[in-house]
Every structure is written in C-alpha cells, then in structure tokens.
Amino acid sequence: MLEIKNLHVEVEGQPILNGIDLTVPKGEVHAIMGPNGSGKSTLSYVIAGKDDYDITKGDILWNGESILEMDPAERVAAGVFLAFQYPIEIPGVATMTFLRTAINSVRKARDEEELSIPDMMKLIQSQAKQLAVKPEMLKRGLNVGFSGGEKKRMEILQMALLNPGMCILDETDSGLDIDALRIVSEGVNALRGPDRSMLVITHYQRLLNYIVPDKVHVMSDGKIVKTGGKELALELEESGYAEYDEDAA
Ligand SMILES: Nc1ncnc2c1ncn2[C@@H]1O[C@H](COP(=O)(O)OP(=O)(O)OP(=O)(O)O)[C@@H](O)[C@H]1O
Ligand SMILES: [Mg+2]
C-alpha cells in the first residue's frame, strides 16, 4: 500500500506540491488526471526518489514504512517502479545488457537468486514478444533512436521484468498509436493483481477504457481537488478543468 501524507514539495524555493494526501491500497489501480503543470510528474518523481526536490513537509510510506531516506535504486528494489513520461536514451549500453543488469541487481537486493544468462534471455525475449518489442531493439543502445511509442513500450517491458509492487505510469499513453495503446494496456492489465498497486497518470479518458481504474483523482495546483470513480474521467472529458482552476484561485 502506498500512502502519501500531506506532502509539500518545493523546487528552488518554489512550491509545486501543496499538501498531497493519497492512498493507493494493495491491488487497486488509481488514475491521476489534471491540467499541464499541476504537479503530476513532480509527484511521480518524488515517489521514485529523483533528487532536485525539497520535501518541506509530509511523508511517503510504502507498506507502512517511510521511503524518503531511500535512494531511487533502493526504492526499485523495494518494489516502487516509475515508467517515465520522457524515457531517457543511454547510448553505449545495449538494451539487453541493461535489462539483465537491472533484473539481477533487483533480485540480489531482494535476496533472490540471480538468473543464469539463458534463463534471463528466455524471460526477456518472451516478455518482449508480448509487448511487441522487436528483438533487434534489444541489441540497440537503451532507447537510442527508439520512436516515442517504442520508448513507452520499453518502459512497460522494464516494469514487467522488475516485478514491482507499485507501478507508476506517467502518460504512458501519449504518443502511442492505436495498436500500441492496446498492446501496452494489455501488458499493464496483465500485471494487475491483488498484490500490486498502480498509479496511472493520463490526460485521456480513452486510456481508462482499457485500464479501468478503481479511483480517479483530479490534481490542480499541486493538490488533489477531487476524487471519484471511473465516471469522473468521463465528466472531465465533457467539462474540462475550469471548475477546479477556479477552486484553486
Ligand atoms: N526543476 C524545476 N524547476 C522549476 N520548476 C519546475 C521544475 N520541475 C517542475 N517545475 C514546475 O512545476 C510545475 C509542475 O510540473 P509537472 O511536470 O509536475 O506538471 P505535470 O502535471 O506533470 O504537467 P504535464 O501534464 O504537462 O506533464 C510546473 O509549473 C513546472 O514548471
Ligand atoms: Mg507530466
């Protein structure tokens, strides 16, 4: 279970998150929607442990324990995984090598046995096939020259391989063509389960037809201003965010 309590975050003295309270219980999928600049990516980065952010108040608990003192790799090992809105390119590191290293370092941190190279290759290739990641992409540098949609699929492949308890997806749907949206959504849905929580950040109700959330939260000006069921996403599609901007002003 992920619990965010009265979280206040600043960047260079500028407040960006202004008291976020959010709980994602085990097994649930929650969506976050909200206008550009409302703080959705900032929230996802702070959960994942990216530095450059000052947490001035509040706490983030994963399974009852604060993760604020943990570095990003420790958080991944603890099961908190973020699929980036803008995945970075790492030239010089073959994607396959990157994935193998990531899997084994996470397994090691979790006191699990390392996988042999053949077992690892089999695992990666079968997951890659399900997400329509082409074998030659695994030989290229991580994300180097990948199209926007290919990068997003690579994020979901990493997520599937690292077996996290908490998956955060930041606009995984943006830039995907219709087939890729379906493939990625099926990949995400295959990961849904009683032991896994998910936080899905999106601008489009359309994604939530595929990945049906238990709850939808609206974020505005660094706060959660409304929470509802999946129908809230449909209402937003009709009415936009004007109502919440006024509330925030
Ligand atoms: N490093 C930074 N320095 C200064 N301002 C920042 C920094 N990072 C984020 N911000 C500001 O914080 C606010 C929230 O940004 P964030 O990326 O979290 O929004 P978002 O809700 O993800 O928007 P979008 O829907 O466009 O992805 C924005 O006004 C942004 O300019
Ligand atoms: Mg964002």
- Single pTM value for the model: 0.92
Shortest-distance atom of ligand 1 to CA 219: 21
Residue 85 has phi, psi (to 5 degrees) of -65, -40
Which of the ligands is closest to the CA of residue 37? Answer: 1
**248 pLDDT higher than 80:** no
Closest-CA residue, ligand 1 atom 3, reads 11
| Residues pairing with 29 in the sheet | 198
Task: Classify burial at 60, counting beta carbons within 10 Å of its beta carbon; exposed 0-12, middle 13-18, buried 19 or more.
Answer: buried
Angle of the 117-130 helix axis to the 148-162 helix axis, nearest 10: 130
If you measure from the C-alpha of residue 222 to the centroid of ligand 1, how many angstroms do you get, rounded to a whole number? 10
Q: Which residues line ligand 1 (CB under 6 A)?
A: 11-12, 14, 16, 34, 36-42, 52, 85
Contact 5, 179 (CB under 8 A): no
In the reported structure, the alpha carbon of residue 43 is separated from the centroid of ligand 1 by a whole-number distance in angstroms of 10
Tens digits of residue pLDDT in 50-63: 999 999 999 999 99
In this prediction, residue 246 has a pLDDT band, given cuts at 50, 70 and 90, of low
**From atom 2 of ligand 1, which residue's Cα is the shortest distance away?**
11
Q: What is the mean pLDDT of residues 52-77?
A: 95
Which one is the CATH code of 2-248: 3.40.50.300, 3.40.50.150, 1.10.600.10, 3.40.190.10? 3.40.50.300
Backbone dihedral angles phi then psi of residue 221, each to the nearest 5 degrees: 50, 45
pLDDT at 176: 87
Q: Whose CA is nearest to atom 9 of ligand 1?
A: 42
**Residue to mutate (ligand 1; options 36, 55, 201; most atoms within 8 A of CB):** 36
Q: How far apart (Å, rounded) are the C-alpha atoms in residues 28 and 136?
A: 35
Of the ranges 39-48, 158-167, 168-177, which one carries the lowest mean pLDDT score? 168-177
The pLDDT > 90 percentage for the chain reads: 78
pLDDT digits (tens, 9 = 90+) for 120-167: 999 999 999 998 899 999 999 999 999 888 998 999 999 999 999 999
User: How high is the mean pLDDT of the chain?
Assistant: 93
Instruction: Give the closest residue to 224 by CA, choosing from 196, 206, 201.
Output: 201
Q: Is 19 left (phi over 0), alpha (psi -120 to 50) or beta?
A: left
